[in-house]
Amino acid sequence: MELLEQRIQKDGAVKAGNVLKVDSFLNHQIDIGLLNEIGKEFKRLFADTNITKILTIEASGIAIAAIVAQYFNVPVVFAKKTQSINLDGSVYTTKIHSFTHQRDYDVIVSKKYISPEDHILVIDDFLANGCAVEGLIDMIQSAGATLEGVGIIIEKGFQDGGKRLRKKGIRVESLAIVDAMDDVTGKITFRH
Ligand code: 5GP
């Protein structure tokens, strides 16, 4: 998506440790105009599916998923990070390793909000090693729901999450794929 790539070039900052900061338009301050264009693009890419729900993970996924969901006219469910897993069987749980915080989180979704009839689109801001998306898919499978695909705003193509998911036959649509980035020069190149 040309508009997104231009914005990443203009306002993205490459940090050590393979981290791309996009705080000025996506992860801290949010450009709603840009997110509306992103929502339209996901709707176009997944026009052949019959999505009933969008699933994401807190915190930064929520705002993105909420705007995207307006174009699909479906609810958003966000997986919650939790300290204590509720053992009464009312939630799906999984463990997710956070790339940016370098720690594991237990993550839950209430069984009330995903059912076997659901056709789910997973949305997230970044795809790096794929742990976050794989955790969400794990809970979709536990619920017996159908995964229609994964929509990612920025995929870091030099990390292997995207490759692993596609190898499993999962449909992954990334609006920008970063091929390489350099924290010394600040140079970012995209895959087309
Ligand atoms: P993964 O689980 O695929 O390794 O990492 C994806 C998650 O880590 C995303 O939910 C995102 O919040 C965070 N993340 C991974 N790489 C980056 C990055 O380069 N920049 C930012 N801002 N977040 C990232």
Instruction: Please report the atom of ligand 1 found closest to the CA of residue 96.
Output: 2
Q: How far is the CA of 128 from the centre of ligand 1 (A)?
A: 6
Q: How far is the CA of 100 from the centre of ligand 1 (A)?
A: 6
| Rounded Cα gap, residues 189 and 2, in angstroms | 13
For ligand 1, atom 4, name the residue with the nearest CA.
129
List residues near ligand 1 (CB under 6 A): 19-21, 27, 60, 99-100, 124-132, 156, 161
Query: What string of pLDDT tens digits covers the 192 residues of the chain?
Result: 999 999 999 999 999 999 999 999 999 999 999 999 999 999 999 999 999 999 999 999 999 999 999 999 999 999 999 877 666 789 999 999 988 888 899 999 999 999 999 999 999 999 999 999 999 999 999 999 999 999 999 999 999 999 999 999 999 999 999 999 999 999 999 999
For the chain, give every domain's residue range.
2-190
Give the DSSP per-residue string, 91-141. EEEEEEEETTTTEEEEEEEEGGG--TT-EEEEEEEEESSSHHHHHHHHHHH
Ligand 1: which of 105, 126, 131, 188 to mutate, judged by most atoms within 8 Å of the beta carbon? 126
Q: How far is the CA of 69 from the centre of ligand 1 (A)?
A: 21
Q: Which helix (H) or strand (E) holds 152?
A: strand 146-156
Q: Does domain 2-190 have CATH number 3.20.10.10?
A: no
| Rounded Cα gap, residues 106 and 97, in angstroms | 9
Angstrom distances, CA of residue 29 to CA of 35, 49, 64, 187, 188: 12, 31, 12, 23, 21
Q: How far is the CA of 88 from the centre of ligand 1 (A)?
A: 31
For residue 7, the 8-state DSSP code is H
Q: What is the pTM of this model?
A: 0.96
Q: Which two tokens stand for residue 186?
A: 């600040």
